[in-house]
Amino acid sequence: MLLVKKKKKMENLQKLEHRLGVVFKDKNLLKQALIHRSWLNENPESGLANNERLEFLGDAVLELVVTEYLYKGYSNPEGELTNWRAALVNYVNLSEIGNELGLNEFLLLSKGEAKDMGRARQVILANTMEALIGATYLDQGYETVAKFIKQNIICDLEKIIKSKSYKDSKSLFQEQSQEKFGVTPNYRVLNETGPDHDKIFEVGVYLNEELAGKGSGPSKQEAEQKAAEAALDK
């Protein structure tokens, strides 16, 4: 029975390697990239580590590869390049790519986390993408991981530029408010609820002292985006 389980796990890793286009020398690195900390809470005897250190490394590698690509390939101002990079590496885009690669099939999650298919799963998928990038960098080196990032993430750049989706709600609202009213919006936290590990922030965006919109979210940044969206709708 143990041999059957081991064989199945190896077949799953091979299936994932095929999708990623990378064959790992150290299969343990690949496996670690898929382990969410919640799984370890239910499997403390496994002797394995979660993917958070790999995610930390992968985040830096991803930003370097994208930044280098933009710097060498485009002569646009720094502000535009920053916005393009942010659109490529944000958790929403990374989670969509992770979903396309079928990472849900390979994630090691607790029973509770496995049931959640909302925003929390998006964040887990994005973090797993970064962990896989970190693992690929350690196992294969810079050239291989750069190739992976270009084929799976940077490939969306032209679509992002053409659709102008790199302009988030805060950027768009600032452009419009400066153009129409000559005022730069300012954001203020109106309320915080919930425990430290699960806070909800309510933020207001103001034009001078006039409240233009309100929004809520699990981080100040997301609440600010929602406030800007509300202001744009007005």
Catalytic machinery residues = 59, 130
Mapped onto helix, strand or coil, the DSSP state of residue 50 is: coil
Contacts of 75 (CB under 8 A, 6+ apart): none
Tokens of 194: 């919930």
Give me the helices (H) in the chain, please.
Answer: 2-20, 27-33, 37-42, 52-73, 78-89, 91-100, 111-115, 119-140, 142-152, 157-163, 169-181, 220-233
- Identify which of 161, 35, 185, 190 has the alpha carbon closest to the alpha carbon of residue 86: 161
* Separation CA 191–CA 179 (nearest Å): 30
Tokens of 129: 């993408």
Q: Could you say which DSSP state residue 34 is in? A: T
Q: What is the side-by-side strand order in the sheet with 210-217?
A: 186-193, 200-207, 210-217
